Amino acid sequence: MAAPPVIRQLDLELRNIRKRYGSFTAVDDVSLKVEPGQFVCLLGPSGCGKTTTLRCVAGLEEPDQGGILIGGREVTGDPPWKRDIAMMFQDFALFPHMSVARQVGFGLEMLKKPKAEIAKRVAEVLASFEITQLAERRPGQLSGGQKQRVALARAMITEPRILLLDEPIGALDYSLRETVMLELKSLQRRTGISFIWVTHDQNEAFSLGDLVVVMNHAKIEQQGPPQDILSRPRTPFVAGFIQGNNVFHGKAGRAQGGVLEVETPLGAFGVPLLDLATPAPGSPLSFSVRAERLIERPDESVPNRIALRCITVEYFGAFRRHVLEGAGGAVVKYDQFGALPQSIREGEQITLGWAAENGVLHRATPA
Amino acid sequence: MHWKTRSRLTGWVLGTVTIGFLLFQWAPMFTMFTLSFAGETGGTTFPMNGVSLHWYRNLWEADLFDDFKPPMLRSFLLALACSATTVVLSVCAAQAMRGRFRGNGLYFYLLLLGLMAPGILVGFGFAILTRLLGIEGSWNTTAYVVHVSWALPFGFLTMLAVFNRFDPKLEEAALTLGATRVIAFRRITWPIILPGVIGTALFGFSLSYDEYARTLFTAGSDGTLPLAVMAQLDRQLTPELYAIGSVTTAMSLIVIALCSIGFWLRARALRGRPA
């Protein structure tokens, strides 16, 4: 008889959770599975429900429907102090009346550890976060970066199963963010603790996350590894939210050889169907093409072509972005590798195109 | 000439008005204070006849003051009890408001009703009510209840303001670190709101200590200090009464000064010593 398959316990599972405030739905039917030691980023614009989702995991909000499992254990009705989690808040929420050493030891104190053990462990943690010299200071005497370290040390000292981070570097100076991001990523790798990181900054989400969950209007729009979301946005929202996509709206035409013809105000284009079902002819749909996938002055072999007029050219160093206008005022972005000489002038008329396989068809929006 | 955010003239006008108002506020007390140092033959109005500590000595050597001792003790105990009760009730009431429950607007206005109701009517109405219920009025039962109802709205407003500045994320952080609600309140919330709580306690104390209108009908046969002072005013007015007033005012100022020093020390401790 074959041995039963070893089921790896998930660190976190959200089953169709829903949270309403009066008539406002903050979280709508959100399901998520977090593998042990996974770095998950909840990404979305403000008010999309990502923070509420995180607070439901922490137990600071109770979902109206659905279940939350932490380490395979049902915790939906449990208060925060009974959950194997820790949380880091955007403004760090350091206790103003406690010294750094005292508040870093707070979690252990709550576990009723002996005093000597707490002191020893606090000293270790302060040393590993390189904040030993701050031990006797109060939060009012700390810089932003120091506060961030203290908040992290305070959250990590009990070695929770999951660390919840609500825009953890949003309050830091811009110059500090990259360093802190790298540190946090390596800390997460080292400890194997699952991180759930809420952010509205896609650079954070895509550079840190093993799994990126894009949310909008209380729902999950798409989840997957960063490459998947960047190369294959599944909804027009995701395509528009992540930088560098051109989103085209149109109507389905005939499908032939796995390529769907889409009628748009800018013309008809062939878009690969991939794993999507062939939509009924005439039904509304959308697709996107990455701005750097466009080709200047394409030859006859490129089937998808648009005549445009260049409005502005912006130079970002790594790339040069052209904003172009087509028929009916539709705007198209075209990014060119920054080291290449500028080839399109402002005001110039130009034809751009793209290879059929670079079009990404979106899931049909449920009408 | 370069531009300024506020003109010099505005500064002078506002400054003058402010100082004028403060003088106006303190002048009556200062008059009483001055007259309490009148000579032995001094009266209770200007001009002052001589300068002496006669009336204070008189106070010290009793006779009249003996009449004031029991009401003073009663007032002090009553004010302490009222202060303690006000603190507990206003912290609870303000905590409840943080929860934004259904009908919290109505609850807010009902609590503030105590501020707007005329004192003499509240006192009289309460006296009628207790008589109806067959309860004998006394300073430490009926008057106590009425005093709390008077001090509560002030304490409630103070605590609301305190909680407005309190960051609920601090409590949430404690909860996610394994603290139960009770522990989070004791270890995080309470130490942070403590200055506001002390303010509320002072409010409760001073509002009760000099309450007259509400006490008049509810204190029963054993009166409080304000009642005794009023009774004495009816009988005989001497600068001795002024001396009593000055002494009690000075005591209040000392208490307030001590509290302020305490706050200042605490604020310094929170900022921490410069590293």
pLDDT digits (tens, 9 = 90+) for A85-105: 999 999 999 999 999 999 999
Q: Would an 8 Å CB–CB cutoff place A106 in contact with chain B?
A: yes
State the smallest CA–CA distance between residue B93 and chain A in angstroms: 22
Confidence at residue A243, expressed as pLDDT on a 0 to 100 scale: 87
Radius of gyration of chain B (CA): 23
State the smallest CA–CA distance between residue B249 and chain A in angstroms: 34
In chain A, residues with a C-beta closer than 8 Å to the C-beta of B263 are: none
Question: Are A179 and A207 in contact, with CB atoms under 8 Å apart?
Answer: no
In chain B, residues with a C-beta closer than 8 Å to the C-beta of A83 are: 176
Q: Would an 8 Å CB–CB cutoff place B192 in contact with chain A?
A: yes
- pTM to 2 decimal places: 0.83
| Cβ distance of A141 and B183 shorter than 8 Å | no
Tell me which residue of A154, A170, A60, A165 sits closest to A98, measured CA to CA: A154
Question: Are B56 and B242 in contact, with CB atoms under 8 Å apart?
Answer: no
DSSP per-residue letters across A147-210: HHHHHHHHHHTT--SEEEEESTTTTS-HHHHHHHHHHHHHHHHHH--EEEEEES-HHHHHHH-S
Q: Would an 8 Å CB–CB cutoff place A170 in contact with chain B?
A: no
DSSP per-residue letters across A77-135: T--GGGSSEEEE-TT----TTS-HHHHHTHHHHHTT--HHHHHHHHHHHHHHTT-GGGT
Among A10-19, B111-120, B182-191, the least confident range = B111-120
| Cβ distance of B177 and A158 shorter than 8 Å | yes
In the numeric block, the tokens 């919330």 are attached to: B189
Question: Are A322 and A313 in contact, with CB atoms under 8 Å apart?
Answer: yes
> Per the structure, how many domains does chain B have?
1
| Cβ distance of A60 and B173 shorter than 8 Å | no
DSSP tally for chain A: helices H, then strands E: 9, 20
State the smallest CA–CA distance between residue B179 and chain A in angstroms: 6
> What CATH code is carried by the domain that includes residue B75?
1.10.3720.10
Domain contains B78: yes
Mean pLDDT, residues B189-214 taken together: 89
Domain contains B185: yes
- pLDDT band (50, 70, 90) for residue B77: very high
State the smallest CA–CA distance between residue B91 and chain A in angstroms: 20
- pLDDT band (50, 70, 90) for residue B274: very low
Give, in order, the Cα–Cα distances in Å from A303 to each of A251, A349, B167.
18, 19, 59
Determine the Cα–Cα distance for residues A140 and B32; give it in Å rounded to an integer. Answer: 46
The single-letter DSSP state of residue A32 is E
Q: Indicate whether B275 pLDDT > 50.
A: no
Determine the Cα–Cα distance for residues B216 and B196; give it in Å rounded to an integer. Answer: 30
Residues 6+ apart with CB under 8 A from B15: none
Bigger pLDDT: A280 vs A2? A280
| Cβ distance of B176 and A140 shorter than 8 Å | no
Domain contains B101: yes
**How many other CB atoms sit within 10 Å of the CB of residue A206?**
18
Question: Are B85 and B148 in contact, with CB atoms under 8 Å apart?
Answer: yes
Q: Best interface-test mutation with A: which of B177, B185, B186, B193 has the largest number of A CBs within 10 A?
A: B177
Domain contains B50: no
Mean pLDDT, residues B49-57 taken together: 78
| Cβ distance of A110 and B272 shorter than 8 Å | no
| Cβ distance of B270 and A158 shorter than 8 Å | no
- pLDDT band (50, 70, 90) for residue B234: confident
State the smallest CA–CA distance between residue B89 and chain A in angstroms: 25
Give, in order, the Cα–Cα distances in Å from A129 to each of A11, A105, A125, B107.
25, 14, 6, 48
Between CA A351 and CA A358, with CA A357 as vertex, the angle to 5 degrees is 55
| Cβ distance of A110 and B275 shorter than 8 Å | no
| Cβ distance of B178 and A87 shorter than 8 Å | no
Question: Are A235 and A360 in contact, with CB atoms under 8 Å apart?
Answer: no
| Cβ distance of A93 and B167 shorter than 8 Å | yes
What tokens appear for A345 in the block? 């002038």
State the smallest CA–CA distance between residue B173 and chain A in angstroms: 7
Of B178, B270, B275, the CB nearest to A158: B178
In the numeric block, the tokens 């209380």 are attached to: A218
DSSP tally for chain B: helices H, then strands E: 12, 0
Q: Would an 8 Å CB–CB cutoff place B170 in contact with chain A?
A: yes
Determine the Cα–Cα distance for residues A80 and A86; give it in Å rounded to an integer. Answer: 9
Determine the Cα–Cα distance for residues A319 and A293; give it in Å rounded to an integer. Answer: 13
ipTM above 0.85, yes or no: yes
Q: Would an 8 Å CB–CB cutoff place B267 in contact with chain A?
A: no
Domain contains B226: yes
Average pLDDT, chain A: 91
State the smallest CA–CA distance between residue B167 and chain A in angstroms: 8
In chain A, residues with a C-beta closer than 8 Å to the C-beta of B179 are: 81, 106, 110
Domains, chain A, in order of start with CATH, read 12-231 (3.40.50.300), 243-361 (2.40.50.140)
| Cβ distance of B272 and A86 shorter than 8 Å | no
- pLDDT band (50, 70, 90) for residue A225: very high
Question: Which residues constitute the domain of residue B232?
Answer: 66-236
Give, in order, the Cα–Cα distances in Å from B25 to each of A188, B21, B30, B34.
63, 6, 10, 16
Question: Are B157 and B207 in contact, with CB atoms under 8 Å apart?
Answer: no
| Cβ distance of A110 and B192 shorter than 8 Å | no
Domain contains B10: no
- The size of the A-B interface in CB pairs under 8 A is 76
Q: Would an 8 Å CB–CB cutoff place A154 in contact with chain B?
A: yes
Q: Indicate whether A299 pLDDT > 80.
A: yes
Domain contains B127: yes
Which strand (E) or helix (H) includes residue A350?
strand A349-354
Q: Would an 8 Å CB–CB cutoff place B20 in contact with chain A?
A: no
Radius of gyration of chain A (CA): 25
Report helix angle A174-191 to A144-156, nearest 10.
Answer: 20
In chain A, residues with a C-beta closer than 8 Å to the C-beta of B170 are: 93, 95-96
Q: Indicate whether A107 pLDDT > 80.
A: yes
| Cβ distance of B177 and A111 shorter than 8 Å | no
